[in-house]
Structure formats: C-alpha cells, structure tokens
Amino acid sequence: MLKQGLSVKLGQSLSMTPQLQQAIRLLQLSSIELQQEIQENLDTNPLLERVEDSNETNQDDNRQDNEVISDTENTTLSEELNMDTSWDDIYDTDWRTGNNNAETSASDLIDVMHSPIKTLRDHLQEQVDLSQLSAIDKEIAATIISYINPQGFLTESTQQIFSNLQHALLIEEDEVNVILQYIQNLDPIGIGARNLSEALLLQLKHLYNDHLLYKKTRLLLQKHLDLIEKRDYISIKKALKLKTGQFDELMGLIQSLNPYPGNMFDHSTTNYITPDVYVQKIKGLWIVSLNQETLPKLQINNYYSNMLTNLSNKKDRDYLKSNTQQARWLIKSIENRNSTVLKVANAIVERQNAFFQYGEEAMKPMVLKDLAEQLELHESTISRVTTQKYMHTPRGVYEFKYFFSSHVRTSTGGACSATAIQAMIKKLITSEPNNKPLSDSKLTNLLKEQGINVARRTVAKYREAMNIPSSHERKTFA
C-alpha cells in the first residue's frame, strides 16, 4: 500500500535563462547567419541601432551619449557558457545564356513566368530524344541520366548501372561506358562526371584542347586540385614550374570552367563562405584577428532610451524597457561570441603551429576535449564554436573543425593525425608513375616504411575521402 508524504531533497540544476539561451544560439551561428539574425533584431527592436561611421557620427553630437555595452559586463555570461547545455568560392557559378544586351518586353517576361521550369534531366533527355541513337542506346542513356544529380555528377558506377540494365537489355558493359561518354559531351559540357576533377577536365578538353597551357592545366586538375581549393598559389607555381604570367593565364582558364555544370538548372540559393578570423605571420609569430567586416557595432538608441524616464503610460514604458533589455542582451551575447571565437582560434593556431609552418603533413592529432581542457570550457561549447566558423590563412580557408582529427600510433610510440596521413597518401600518389599507379596495398607498405601503421582499408577510406580514384581509374585517366 502506497503512503503519501513530504520529503526535502537537495540538488543542482541549470536554469536556462533567456540570456544564456540567446548566447548559445548565437554561438553556433555562422557569420552569414549572424548577420541575418542581427538584421532581424534591428528591424524589430527600435532601441537597437548600428554605430555609424565616424564621419556620420560627428554630424550628430548626441551619438556620444549612446549606451554601448562594455566587455567587462560579460563575466557572468562567459561563466555560464562553461556549463554543458543543449539548445535546440573560388569559382564563379553565375552562368548566363542568351543575349544580355537584348531588350526584354513585358510579354516576354510573362511567357517566362508562366513557362514550366526545365530541370537538368529534362534538358538532357530532350537531347537524347532528338539524337540518332538506337532504341536500346536511348534506354541506356535514360537510365544513366536518372543517376545524374542536380549538380551534374553521376551518382552511381557504370558497373552498377550495367548490372541494373542487363536483366532487361542484352548489352555489354562497354556499351554503358560508350553512352556515358556520349552524355558527357551533351550540353552543358561536363555533365555525367564522376568527380570534380573529371567535370573540369571534360570542359578543359572541349574548350581549350589547343591552348599552349592545356597540358599543364590538365596536370593541375588531375594531380593538384586540392591546391586550387586552398588557394595555395605558391605550391601551384612550384609544382607546374610556372612563371607569373603563365600562372595568371592558367588560372584564368580554370576560373572559366564550371565546377558544377548542372547548377544552371538549379534555382536554389547559393551559400558563400565568409571567414570569421584571419591568420597572418607577423614578425615570426602567427597572429589571429577577427574579421571586422562580420562584426557590426551595435548600441542602444539614446533618444528612445531617454524617453523611459519621461513616459507616464505604463504600457509604453514597459515596451521600451523590454526592448532595451533585449538590445543589451544581444550586444553582450555578440561580444561574448566574438571573444570565444577568437579564444578558440588562438588555441587552434597555437596547437597546430607546425601545420601553418610546414603544411598538412605536420598536422598534430587534436580532439575537442584537448581545447576544452586548455580553455576551461565544455566540449559542447567548443563544438558550437568550431561549427560553420572559418579561418583565412596563407595556406587557404579552413573550417575550424578541419584542425581536429583522430590519431594513429606510430612504430616509435608517437602519434600521427589522420589529416597528416591523408597528406602523405596524397603526396605519394602525386609522385607515382602515370603508367603504374600505386595500389592501396602498396601505399600501406610505403606508409609502414615511414613508421605509420595503418590497415589497407584505412588507406582506401582516406583516399576516397579525398576524392582520389582507385589505382585502376587513375591509370585510365592518365
């Protein structure tokens, strides 16, 4: 039989204050999302405004009295963030077709507005339907097209496509490869590629086959695509033995190519990366600084703030008081976010100093716990700070999370990061003979000779993560 009674129990629990909730949410936003969040607050809160440029500020003496929240008021909020809490390019892809100078009439615009949107697959299928291919070849082509994603890449291997077709059609696997080559020469060029390198190579061959720099450009796309992504121009010049004029011309060729040939049929919004911090070497030291362009200066509107003492209407006074408090919270949360981002970025640069000095092969193993213990923050806070935050360095632009990787024990008892191992694999493949590429087993043995003990399947996983084809495919493309 149950008996009712009263008992007293002591315990600790975290109270999620509105300030803490807002701080956590802002901490995990990217710089672009933060700009949008700030703009929404500016649009809805009359007590919040941007600090104008100095020239405009001098025109209004009252600006001097505006209330700006100082860094010293962030201590309590920073301490709260230490707790574990949960809270729910390089390329220009603006491709244009048609005559940009032609005048467009109102009737033309109406026709465009009411015309159905053509997808990439529709566009490819129309070309196949109008071709002289046989009925069987058209069936193969239609199947291949069904495996091409909106960006224009083939998402299935030709072996699997053949396996899917052979039950319905009496064909050979070579026929699938031939039709794929046909599709890769349809409009837009580069469609049906299996990776970024192949997409760019298809366009390069179609557009610049007779160019003096064609062979070097092809070599760059085949072997050093990662250097382009990181904007490591010094290494590109060195690898291809280019003069400054040749380098500029070669980069012009690459920038004229479309990394995602299917995107002209994609009407979704393009997201751009804005670095949160800059890393520069000054007087022998690596210095981290916040990107000031992403740091709008906010303040409390002095005019409305002064009205609080003169208003007799309780409803109006409460409205202004509430918005003033919200504006203060937002300013404090943004300042705390920026301080935490800078603190984490400095810790990353300090721990990965060898990477900035020598490159990927010098990357040290590092996990979230390492930085959490060093900065006396919780791992969840480090996770939020390193998500969608980017660092602009002399070696390229990297997400904060790029610098975190697991480790592999070496034969000498030390540890090597997964990123460093990937760099070693990439270096070995780059220097391999074109007619005899290194297999995953051979790469495993070469790494063991350097003291890195990894399994063959691990090497294969790292190679695939870098979008490097197998030895058989590399020999085919050479």
Q: pLDDT tens, 256-302? A: 898 888 887 765 555 567 899 999 999 989 999 999 888 878 999 88
The answer on pLDDT for 84 being more than 60 is: no
Confidence grade of residue 107 (pLDDT, cut at 50, 70, 90): very low
| Omega before 188 within 30 of 0, i.e. cis | yes
Confidence grade of residue 1 (pLDDT, cut at 50, 70, 90): low
Question: For 189-193, what is the mean pLDDT?
Answer: 91
Q: What is the pLDDT of residue 8?
A: 65
Confidence grade of residue 358 (pLDDT, cut at 50, 70, 90): confident
- Sign (positive/negative) of CA torsion 109, 110, 112, 113? positive
Question: Residue 6: what are its φ and ψ, rounded to 5°?
Answer: -110, 145
Confidence grade of residue 420 (pLDDT, cut at 50, 70, 90): confident
Q: pLDDT tens, 108-131? A: 433 433 444 568 888 898 899 888
Instruction: Identify the residue with better confidence: 318 or 22.
Output: 318
The residue written with tokens 């072997």 in the block is 223
The answer on pLDDT for 366 being more than 60 is: yes
The answer on pLDDT for 70 being more than 90 is: no
Q: pLDDT tens, 371-416? A: 989 999 888 888 888 888 999 999 889 989 888 876 666 655 566 7
User: Could you tell me if residue 412 is left (phi over 0), alpha (psi between -120 and 50 degrees) or otherwise beta?
Assistant: alpha
Q: What is the pLDDT of residue 319?
A: 87
Q: pLDDT tens, 218-260? A: 999 988 888 887 778 888 888 888 887 888 888 889 888 988 8
The answer on pLDDT for 103 being more than 80 is: no
